[in-house]
Each structure stands twice: as C-alpha cells, then as structure tokens.
Amino acid sequence: MKKVNIFLSYSHKNSQGFDEVRETLQSIEGDIGIELWDDTKIKIGDKWKNEIETALKKADIGILLVTRSFLTSSFIKDVEVKQLLSQYNKNGKTKIFIVILRQCAWKKTKWLSEFQLFNNGIPLWNRDVNKRDGYLVKLTEDLDVMVKGIRKKFSSHHSARSPKKNLDQENVELPFTNQASSIKVLKPPENTKQSTFTYATLTGPAGQGKTRLLCKLKDLYKEKGWSCGYAVFDPEKGERILVKDLLNDLGVAFKDVRGNKKLGKEFYNQYTERKKGWKKPLALFIDTLGNTTKNDVLILENNFVEDLDKYITTNEYFSEVGRYRLFFAGRNLSSDLIDSQRPEKYTVDIKLSPFRYEDVHDMVKNYGVFSHLKPDTKADFAADILYLSGGHPGLMASIVNNYKREKLSHQEFIDYYIECCWGNDLTKTMNEVSRGVFSQRKKIKEFAEATVAFRYFNKSILKKMFRGQAVEKIVSEVINYSGIYRESDNPEYTTLFSDGTIRDLHALHMIARNPENIKSKCLEAQELCWDEIISGFKVKEFMIEYLFQCLQESIAESKNKIHSQRKAIRKNYEKKAEKFVAKLAKIYRDSIRKEDLGKEFISVLRRQADTKDDDKNKALFRFWIIYIYKDKSYNTDIYTNVVISTEKLVNKYFGRRKK
C-alpha cells in the first residue's frame, strides 16, 4: 500500500506545540499509511535547503502549523508555503491542511482566509490539557479523512494505468448492487423535461443495500453531467455539518455563517456564489446513520430541505422541472416525511433481499475478476467475503472492488483487507487505550459494535488483528464496564449496554483471551440447539434458545462450570430476557406478516438442515445470525405470551426454580 507523504511546516519558535502535534501524528503513522517529514529528519552533512525542497515536491499533504512566528518567517512564506500552494493549484497535487496552533492575526492573511481551516480556526494550543488533547484527537480524525480521499486518487490512477483483462466484467451486476428496478425508476432522465419526480426516499432495515444504491445513483448522475453532493447525516453533529459536507463534496469550501439558522438559504447562496459553472442539474444524496430517528429527519426536513426548496424553485435555472433532485436513504424514513403536498415526489421502499452463501458463491464463480482462481479457492473466497462483510451489501461490494484493484492472491487479499478496512479503526482504538483515553463508555460501546463480525473470522485473521498489550487493556475495560463477570446487583452494570452489545463485548473478550479456539467457541451455542432446528423448524424457540446459550457463554468460562453457576446464569438471563426475547419474537412475527421474508427465512433454515456440506451449511447459518442481530430498528415491546414461552424453555433446560 503506497504511503501518503506529509510535510510539516512550522516555526522553530513554537517547538513545544510542534512536538505535541508530531508525536500525535507519529502514533497513527503506520495505522493510516502516512509518512511524516519535518526538518528534524535532516542529517548532519546534508544540504538542508535541498532536503526541504525534495520533501516539498514529494508531499501529498502539507500541514501548516500557523502562529505569529510562522506568519513572519520569510523562509516559510517564500519557500515552503509558496511551493505547497503552487502544487495545490497544479491540479490539486498537494492538499493543504491548516492548523492554527496559537492565537495570531491569520484572518488578515489573504491566502489563509481562502482555505477551510482545521477546527474552524480555533487555536489548537489551549491551557486546558483536556481540550488540547481533544483537539489533537480531532486532528488525527480529520487527517485520516483527507488521507483516505488521496488514497482513492492513488487507486484510480493505478486502475487507469492497468490494462483491462476482461472488459465484460465491468458490466456484471453483483448480487448486492442488483437493484435494477429501483435504478430504472430513479436514474437521471434522458431529457430533464421528462422528469417524473424531485424527491425520493430509500427506506428499509439495515443491510438491504440503501447506501450502495445511493452511491450507485450518484455515479449515474455524475456520468450524465449532473453536479452531485453526497453526505451522511449524523443527528449528534446536526444539520450544519451536513450542509458543510454536501458543499465540500460539491467542491465548495464551506464558510460557516454563525447564527444563520436558515441552512437552506446558506447552502443555496454559497453554492451559487462560489461554485464555478454551477448551472448544471443538481442532485443531492443524503444518507442517514442508523441512530437517526423519524423526528431527526423531520427536523432536517424543516430546517434544511424546505428552506432550500424555496430558493431552488425561485431560481430561473432550477425552476425548470428536472434540474434538481434530492434523495434520502435510511432505516427510519417513511413516505410522509417528505411533504405530501409537493407535486413532484416519488417514494421508494427497497424490498428485503437477503444474500445467501449461494448468491455470493455464484458471483465469485461468474465474475471475471475471479476467473484465475481454482474452484476450491472460489468456494473459500465466497465464505470469506460473507464472513468479512457480516452480510452487509456495502461491505461486500467494497471487498470485491478492493480485490479487483489490488490484484493479490487470495490470502494476501484477506490480510490486506483486514489491515485497511478493519485495522485502521481497531488500531486507532487500541492506541487510544494505550494512551489511557479509552475510559469513555461511548467509545467502548462503539468498539464493541465494530467487533461483531470478528467472531466469524479464522484464527490467522484474529492473530493478525489482536495482538499487543492494548488488547489486555481493552479486555480490562470490557470486564469493568459490561458487568458480565461481576457478582453485583448494581443496576449501572445491567443497564449500561443493550444485550447485543454485551454479546459483542463478550466476543471481544473471548477473542483476546483465546484466539486459537474462538471459532469453535462462537459456534458452540449454535451447535447446542442444532437438533431442535432440524426436527421442528421452530424459529421463535430457536432464537430464544440461541440467546440463552449466548448468555451461558457470557458467564461461564468453560462447559465444566455451567452446572455450578446455574443460579448466576438464571439471574443474569432473567434480567435481560424479557426485553431481548420480545425483540426476537417481533422480528419473527414481522417475517411471517411479510410473506416473502417469512418464506425466505423458513426456506433458508430448511436448506441448511437438508444440505450435507458442513462448510456451506455453517456459512449460511452464520449469515442469518448476523443478519438478524445487526438490525436495530425493531422496537422492544414486551409480549406476555413470549415471556411465558421463554420461561417454559428455561424450565425445560435448567429445571424449575425452587421456591
């Protein structure tokens, strides 16, 4: 993987602030694939000016640590800044990352005021150590985003230089992007006057391909010459950040106008005033995070969409039907979220389309980029794609695209994918643990959720991912915060996380403690209730039993201790069962109401029971477990009869409680 070269420009009079920034960046240097250069790397006997000029020419990113001394330095201004700006203006060869290190009169400097600054120009250096550390963490996150953007350019250049071995492979529709009927309706019109809609919502539970479809549509609109802006709405960050991200994706540096609550007007003015050649049809694509509620979307509708609509419809260019479209995608959207009084409106509900092992295997067999693989390797590769992605359509597409681009062997690719796609987030978190800043509960929860798919990896991948002392610190935090192993009635430990997160935390704990046997450990609960599935296909009972077996593992360290800890198992189970079992039952009931899903669910279990191939059997089974448990959009109403059924099962397997 090619490293991104970073040049650090600073004044020696501000060495203390520079040292903190450099140390922070060095802590993530290997993790995000960057190579830092500053003048401290100049060796005795080197011509220092030549070394600086060479490093400047190689720079993909120039980080400028601006202070009063920085602005008054002739060498910095006439050599370093001049060269970096020249490379920036030359087809954007070098990106500029500006950090105001200390308070100074930077607003009076014309070239500085033209750039979007890190942290909106708030000085990084602060007497409050906690604030300063927070800014440094944000610095690494923002830099990581810029590095990923540059790496995409590296990839596109690499692809452009590589001859296509199989031109037909570009036309193959992968199973997880095959939304042909939706694309047919939503694609850009050949003639804007023939437009049938202005607004569209793409709705459905997790893992149905909403984000992939949104990105596919954006590509189609770009090919047709539309200006396209894509951004993800995070309710915790708010609508203003969404507007900023949309403008940035459209190539407009966002200028924050504090106090202006009319975000639609703010977007419209900045887009039309600062975007060169803006008179093109405009398409906006807004994705939403899983925690976005219907109320969040309604607020976004009121604060941004409606306000923007006023200005778009009065603009002489956009007033012509078909020159403006807006797409929403998310779990908690519904057809009434976009104002029903608007005449040009279309709502799309994506139908559930589960991805089976056979689907992925067929894709690997038929897709040209895999043609050189042996049949046995193709079967293994299909299973690896399913494991790595957790059944998520977007991740499956990402895996295949990465493989196509990198042209690696099967095992090399698996290692590469883990390092690039999962490794960055995990290593970053482990670094935070090492620095002692991992005590926030939210961080632990996020990390636990990120590890949900690791239970299905093979041991070589686990060995690669989980190593070093940082893992032990994470395990310690997991035990302290989850309360799984505590003999305490403190409600803090029982209400901190959802049951799904506790299972994820436990999986992480088991991986760290016993990477050799984790695969068999994780399948243990499934095997224990296997006979029941085959004999009766009792889906509800199977899900309840699976939950119960997971709770067994979360308390008992081995099979030998389960009997002796029966009381603790029951106590822990009963605290959580009502809420979680009700959720599982509702998923099952919904699947029965939705005829297609119900039939597919049962048919998958039947095929699983009938097949003689253990690998396919278990791969399919593991996929369904991931798919069911990853969707968080179902509510958790308690159904009395389900609780009664659960109690019967508890009594059946563990005997009645003595009064």
Higher pLDDT, 224 or 624: 224
Looking at the DSSP bridge assignments, the partners of residue 284 are 229, 326
Describe the strand order of the beta sheet including 61-66 as a list of residue ranges: 34-37, 4-9, 61-66, 95-100
**pLDDT of res. 633:** 30
CA distances to 216, 250, 330, 359 from 180, rounded to whole Å, are 11, 27, 19, 16
CB-based contacts of 545-550 (< 8 A; 24+ apart in sequence): 545/649, 545/653, 546/625, 547/499, 547/577, 547/580, 547/581, 547/584, 548/573, 548/577, 548/649, 548/650, 548/653, 549/524, 549/525, 550/503, 550/506, 550/525
Across the chain, mean pLDDT equals 64
**pLDDT of res. 370:** 76
141 vs 53: CA distance, rounded Å = 28
Residue 615 CB: number of other CB atoms within 10 A?
12
Looking at the DSSP bridge assignments, the partners of residue 227 are 282
Banded model confidence at residue 392, pLDDT cuts 50, 70, 90: low
Looking at the DSSP bridge assignments, the partners of residue 36 are 6
Residue range 617-624: average pLDDT?
Answer: 38
Banded model confidence at residue 36, pLDDT cuts 50, 70, 90: very high
Describe the strand order of the beta sheet including 348-349 as a list of residue ranges: 227-233, 282-288, 324-330, 199-203, 348-349
Q: Does the pLDDT of residue 455 top 90, yes or no?
A: no
Q: Does the pLDDT of residue 501 top 80, yes or no?
A: no
CATH 3.40.50.10140 residue ranges for the chain: 4-144
Top-level CATH class of 180-349? alpha beta
Which segment of 198-207, 312-321, 428-437, 462-471 scores lowest on mean pLDDT? 462-471
Q: What is the pLDDT of residues 526-579, one digit of tens each?
A: 333 333 333 333 444 444 444 444 444 433 333 344 445 545 544 554 454 444
For residue 639, the 8-state DSSP code is: P
**pLDDT of res. 489:** 37
- One of 3.40.50.1980, 3.20.20.140, 3.40.50.300, 3.40.50.10140 is the CATH number of 4-144, namely 3.40.50.10140
Which segment of 115-129, 237-251, 501-515 scores lowest on mean pLDDT? 501-515
* Cβ contact 95:146 at 8 Å: yes
Q: What is the pLDDT of residues 166-178, one digit of tens each?
A: 323 333 455 555 5
Q: What is the pLDDT of residues 188-220, one digit of tens each?
A: 887 766 666 778 888 765 556 777 788 888 988
Banded model confidence at residue 366, pLDDT cuts 50, 70, 90: confident
126 vs 390: CA distance, rounded Å = 42
Q: What is the pLDDT of residues 229-268, one digit of tens each?
A: 999 988 878 888 888 899 988 888 887 766 666 788 888 8
Tokens of 196: 């049938």
Q: Does the pLDDT of residue 123 top 80, yes or no?
A: yes
Tokens of 626: 């991931």
591 vs 603: CA distance, rounded Å = 12
Banded model confidence at residue 66, pLDDT cuts 50, 70, 90: very high
Q: Does the pLDDT of residue 625 top 50, yes or no?
A: no
